[in-house]
Amino acid sequence: MDFSVEFYGSENGASPVRQFLDELKASDPDEMKKTNCDHYLEEQLQDPAFAARFEHSGEAWDVALQITALRLQAGLSQKELAKLLKTSQQQISRLESASYEGHSLSMLRRVAEVLHARVRVIFEPVENGTGMHVAEAPAAYSAKRSAIKRS
């Protein structure tokens, strides 16, 4: 079995949460009956801080779902995977939790190796990024020399 798992993204490179948000924005109200939850979420997503937290939570959700899917595809329980990794079932449960954000790259690599997968981490530029900025302007350099009196 040869396949790869891309963390923090889908086949087209977009996060499933980002895809959901894009579909929500593009959806025609006449085509889709929105629930109260949909309306509430749309309202909350108007707040940039909430929208950022919501999208950020999707990254942890992606990792959790992919680990769970790989484990199930391998036919392993959390306890069996833990034994292979020489860790506890509680640690596997934590890794598969959408609220857990303490994933280490070394642990993800260990999980991927046991489940015959690979880990790919992709850094993408922020869409509305304006480039890098320095917090302070550089100080003008001037060498100060003190006069030395020679007698």
Dump pLDDT digits (tens) for 43-72: 888 888 877 777 767 777 888 888 998 999
Of 79 and 136, which is predicted with more confidence? 79
HSE toward the beta carbon, residue 145, CA cutoff 13 A: 3
Residue of 100, 95, 98, 97 lying closest to 119 (CA atoms): 95
61 Cβ neighbours under 8 A, 6+ residues apart: 16, 17, 98
Task: Please report the pLDDT score of residue 98 as a whole number.
Answer: 80
Angle at 135 between CA 131 and CA 139, to 5 degrees: 115
Estimate to the nearest angstrom the gap between the alpha carbon of 9 and the chain centroid: 8
Q: Rank 41-45, 83-87, 92-96 by mean pLDDT and report only the highest.
A: 83-87
Residue of 57, 53, 52 lying closest to 98 (CA atoms): 57
pTM here is: 0.54
57 Cβ neighbours under 8 A, 6+ residues apart: 17, 98, 99
Q: Can you tell me whether residue 134 is helix, strand or coil?
A: coil
Pinpoint the alpha helices (H) of 12-88: 16-26, 36-44, 48-73, 78-85
